[in-house]
Structure 1
Amino acid sequence: MIAGGDHVTYSPDHVAVGKQTEALLAALNDAISDLRQLVSALEDASTMPARVPDVDTDGRHATRQPGRPTEKTALDELRAALRTELNSADAMLPRVIAIVRGLSASMDRALARWEGEEPVLHHSGGPDDHSYGSAGH
């Protein structure tokens, strides 16, 4: 950035950095959208009746009516794999949120200092409340 009198101009380097940041934010939005769709699909699938293969392990056509549907549903290893992935998301997302909030707070403090204001500290009060970013304290 180059300051001159009453105006500020940006060098090509600053424009490139801004475009990179915008591209990264767009990628983050896309990833969040994809994750939302996958979480919804996994939640739906994990409550559906158990899948029945077309062919038994001995090669005969499988029957469509399980003898003990509740037990078969509860013990379905494919359903367990879906729940495991949902549990992983539940464990990881608070960390991702903390990182994004920390980055936002760091940028907000840097901007406040640039504008001559006292920075406001942002605390969510959660266990993962960390200050990430170069301006974080």
Structure 2
Amino acid sequence: MRRLQRPVLPATLLALGLALLAAGQPWSRRTVVDAAGVAWEEVRTGHDLTPVVTALLLVAAAASLLGVRLGGAAGTAVRLLTVLAAAGAALATVGASPPEPTGWFWLSAVAALVATCGALVLVPTAGAGRMSAEGPVGPVTR
């Protein structure tokens, strides 16, 4: 598990960072014309459409760093929190899909999904670290 965690953690953190960056960018743009014929551009960012995404992404980033440092049941619980926060951010992003999404929206959605997959890989399996007469059963997480 340790060999797999080494490349997955930076990729997960990079995906979380990209999703955070994209959440502050324009997710939709459209030109609106009022009754007097005055046109203006309406821009909606991820913060406007779904402010909870930023909070969930920040929780996922902090929990992923803390989960790697902690061992045992506490580490597993924090890693599961990472999975739930990243999955919640991905669902909230996809659920707030604007009518005419920009590339920033798609970057945020894909990055949140990649972060969710990375967080799933970081959660140890049920048999991780258990001992048998021959040695450890499953991947050793610590």
Higher share in strand: 2
TM-score by length of 1: 0.36
Say which structure, 1 or 2, has more relative contact order (CA 8 Å, 6+ apart). 2
